[in-house]
């Protein structure tokens, strides 16, 4: 089991904002097993709580290590996906609080992602989302546009960030309908004080269009594929160097 790190960047200048932690399972014979498959298995075996805590813990530790190495804004946050079983666990907010405490991570640096179908599921789930928000973390609505909820429902969910699904981004340049939907999502999100992140950005043209449409952040192969910890650290080092102002050379050594 390993955690891939996918950069999330600011638009339009592609400065790094954070990373999404993606769980992967490299099976010795079967290759990479999809999360949908092994999360289902983990849920069935009652291991999902432990798996969720492991991912959260390693993500927070990683962010703190990067900030020690590169400075507090490098990167600012880490985003972790919650599974349905985790959100059904009445203890989830306490678990997250425990991890934040153990890793000494400020709550504001953590974002948790839930899908529309998970978030829009009755009062128990809503209470849990509000408990998580009360810790000071950010909540993101993952893969927006693929579920059943509409733009009209956004205002009823206690979320901070709308992640626009890759299926909209992929066709945005050629399909007017998709483009209008992205634009409407950005406007509604803004009017509710939420920000937007586009998923699955693969081309410069898509990034430029998303910027024009007012999208705040993006993630996707245009900037990077999910990386190992080591590769992500090297990637950050390169970003950090590129963003340093060129130091004036003192006259004495010129
Ligand atoms: Mg996600
Ligand atoms: Mg997603």
Task: Give the closest ligand to the alpha carbon of residue 80.
Answer: 1
Q: Output DSSP code: residue 152.
A: G
Instruction: State the first-to-last Cα distance of the chain, in angstroms, to the nearest integer.
Output: 52
Whether pLDDT at 93 is above 90: yes
Q: The tokens of 187 are what?
A: 């406007």
Predicted pLDDT at 129: 95
User: How many other CB atoms are there within 10 angstroms of residue 200's CB atom?
Assistant: 18
**Mean pLDDT value of segment 60-85:** 94
Distance 237 CA to ligand 2 centre (A): 26
Distance 15 CA to ligand 2 centre (A): 20
Distance 16 CA to ligand 2 centre (A): 18
Predicted pLDDT at 250: 57
> What's the mean pLDDT when you consider all of the chain?
90
Predicted pLDDT at 234: 96
Task: Give the closest ligand to the alpha carbon of residue 168.
Answer: 2
**Mean pLDDT value of segment 78-92:** 93
- Report percent pLDDT > 90 for the chain: 70
Predicted pLDDT at 29: 82
Whether pLDDT at 27 is above 90: no
Cα–Cα distance measured from residue 87 to residue 93, given in angstroms and rounded to the nearest whole number = 9
Cα–Cα distance measured from residue 134 to residue 108, given in angstroms and rounded to the nearest whole number = 11
Predicted pLDDT at 44: 82
| Residues 110-150 pLDDT 10s | 999 999 888 878 889 999 999 999 999 999 999 998 876 68
- Per-residue confidence band for 76, with pLDDT thresholds at 50, 70 and 90: very high
Handedness of CA 94, 6, 196, 241 (dihedral sign): positive
Q: What SS3 state is found at 222?
A: coil
Cα–Cα distance measured from residue 215 to residue 235, given in angstroms and rounded to the nearest whole number = 24
Predicted pLDDT at 31: 78
Distance 247 CA to ligand 2 centre (A): 39
Distance 142 CA to ligand 1 centre (A): 5
Whether pLDDT at 172 is above 90: yes
Distance 163 CA to ligand 2 centre (A): 7
Predicted pLDDT at 251: 54
Predicted pLDDT at 80: 97
- Report percent pLDDT > 70 for the chain: 95
Which is higher by pLDDT, 179 or 147?
A: 179
Asked if 80 and 112 count as a contact pair (C-beta separation under 8 A), the reply is yes
Predicted pLDDT at 39: 77
Distance 77 CA to ligand 1 centre (A): 14
Predicted pLDDT at 212: 97
Whether pLDDT at 26 is above 90: no
What's the pTM value of the predicted model, to 2 decimals?
A: 0.91
Q: Output DSSP code: residue 215.
A: -
């Amino acid at each position: 089991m390993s955690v891939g790190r996918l950069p999330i960047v600011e638009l339009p200048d592609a400065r790094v904002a954070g990373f999404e932690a993606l769980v992967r399972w490299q099976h010795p014979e079967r290759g990479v097993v999809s999360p949908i498959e092994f999360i289902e298995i983990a849920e069935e075996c009652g291991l999902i709580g432990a798996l969720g805590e492991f991912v959260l813990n390693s993500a927070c530790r990683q962010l703190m290590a990067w900030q020690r190495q590169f400075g507090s804004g490098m990167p600012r946050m880490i985003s972790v996906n919650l599974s349905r079983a985790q959100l059904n666990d009445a203890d989830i907010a306490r678990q997250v609080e425990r991890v934040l405490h153990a890793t000494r991570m400020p709550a504001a640096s953590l974002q948790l992602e839930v899908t529309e179908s998970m978030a829009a599921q009755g009062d128990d789930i809503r209470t849990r989302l509000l408990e998580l928000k009360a810790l000071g973390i950010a909540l993101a609505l993952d893969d927006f546009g693929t579920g059943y909820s509409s733009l009209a429902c956004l205002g009823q969910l206690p979320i901070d960030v709308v992640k626009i699904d890759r299926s909209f981004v992929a066709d945005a340049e050629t399909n007017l309908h998709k483009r209008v939907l992205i634009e409407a999502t950005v406007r509604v999100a803004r009017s509710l004080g939420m920000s937007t992140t586009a998923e699955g950005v693969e081309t410069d043209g898509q990034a430029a269009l998303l910027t024009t449409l007012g999208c705040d952040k993006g993630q996707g192969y245009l900037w990077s594929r999910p990386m190992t910890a080591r590769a992500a650290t090297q990637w950050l080092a390169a970003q950090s160097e590129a963003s340093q102002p060129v130091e004036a050379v003192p006259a004495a050594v010129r």
